Amino acid sequence: MGGKKISIALVGCGYWGKHFLRLCLQLPEVKFRGVFDLSDGRIDELKQLYPDVYFYTTLKDLLDDDAIEAVIVATGLSSHFEICSNLLKAGKHVLCEKPLTFTAKESEALGKLASDSGLTLMVGHTFEYNSAVLHAKQEAGKGALGELKYLSFRRCGNGPIRTDADVVYDLATHDVSIANFLLGDVPDSVNATGYKLLGANQYDLANIDLIYPSGISVNICVSWMELVKQREMKIIGSEGMLLFNDVVPSEKVRLYHTIAPTTQTRGDFGDFQLSVSNNKVTIPNIDYKEPLREELQHFIACASQHQRPRTDWLSAANVVRVLEAIEESIAQQGQSIKVAK
């Protein structure tokens, strides 16, 4: 970028917004303009932490600030479409937290606005910038696991329970985007079941099966109901398995290579133990980087150099199409639903 800074503002400074604020103030390529947030209490807290940060009184004030080139939107899902529409109409590049919108039609409408104006519109599918997921794509792509058979995701924990989106839109978005990224495609069909175990009007547990054009199946379990946090991805192939466990402090990725049994089966417990652990395990040396920083720097580069983002609005719309099909399948008691293309 030749040393030129990009002028960025932030809309929404909750959990993810605070991380974006920290990064914007750290990155030398960012000239940070300020924050707009609806919560007076949150603003008071942030003013104590960041006394030099400017806070816009209204969203209109931010929209009318011609010095702003790009805006990060880290608000609730229900507000994404309206805020992003207004920002794009005001000539701002936009990075919006996931998922981009409730419906694919809304994502497409935002994409048209961005394309017609020559602006960058990017969605925060953060795991596509995760070092472990990038390594997994590399390993699978070079055939280290043999022929891919299926993928498995488990993303569970004790909340946090959201009011603006159910567990599918909140958590499964991550895994759908990862699966699309790893397989380079969009599923043909979806089967899903969902449950409202907490008595609210939204699903807090869902089991999802996706079938991709290649025949590879993907299973996703998402839940706000479990007391032990789990963030696990498995890629299973004919010659091994890759496990990514995001909650452990080290050795997050392990490669299991199937090897032939070395003993004849005797039918005793010792033989059983051998049979279930008869794998060669490799722990790759991965240079782990903060995914959100990588995502933000990619957005800055794309906005500054007029390049297409890895997670552009088309990627966002494809994920939302799958989410819509999941919701329809749940509503139809697990019936197989075709994903709109």
Looking at the fold, whether 123 and 138 belong to one and the same domain comes out as: no
Rounded to 5°, angle at Cα 181 from 176 and 183: 95
Whether 78 and 118 map to the same domain: the answer is: yes
229-266: pLDDT as tens digits: 999 999 999 999 999 999 999 999 999 997 655 555 56
Report pLDDT digits (tens) over 24-60. Answer: 999 999 999 999 999 999 999 999 999 999 999 999 9
Mean pLDDT of 150-163: 93
Query: Residue 220: beta bridge partners?
Result: 153, 208
Tokens of 57: 């009184």
Q: Which two tokens stand for residue 39?
A: 């919560």
Which letter does DSSP use for residue 91 in this model? Answer: T
Q: What is the CATH number of the domain that holds 245?
A: 3.30.360.10
SS3 call for 259: coil
Environment class of 267 (CB within 10 Å of its CB; exposed 0-12, middle 13-18, buried 19+): exposed
Question: Looking at residue 48, which CATH number applies to its domain?
Answer: 3.40.50.720
Q: Residue 326 belongs to what domain range?
A: 128-290+322-338
d(CA 191, CA 21): 39
Whether 222 maps to a domain, the answer reads yes
Residues 143 and 230 in one domain: yes
**Could you tell me if residue 301 is inside a domain?**
no
User: Which of these, 313, 241, 290, lies nearest to 130 by C-alpha position?
Assistant: 290
Nearest to 319 by CA among 163, 158, 111, 164: 111
* 115 and 172 together in one domain: no
Indicate the helix (H) or strand (E) that contains 193. strand 189-195
Query: pLDDT per residue over 276-316, tens digit each?
Result: 455 689 999 999 999 999 999 999 999 999 999 999 999 99
Is 316 inside any structural domain?
no
Task: Judge if 40 and 116 occupy the same domain.
Answer: yes
Neighbours of 80 (CB within 10 A): 27
Q: What is the mean pLDDT of residues 317-341?
A: 97
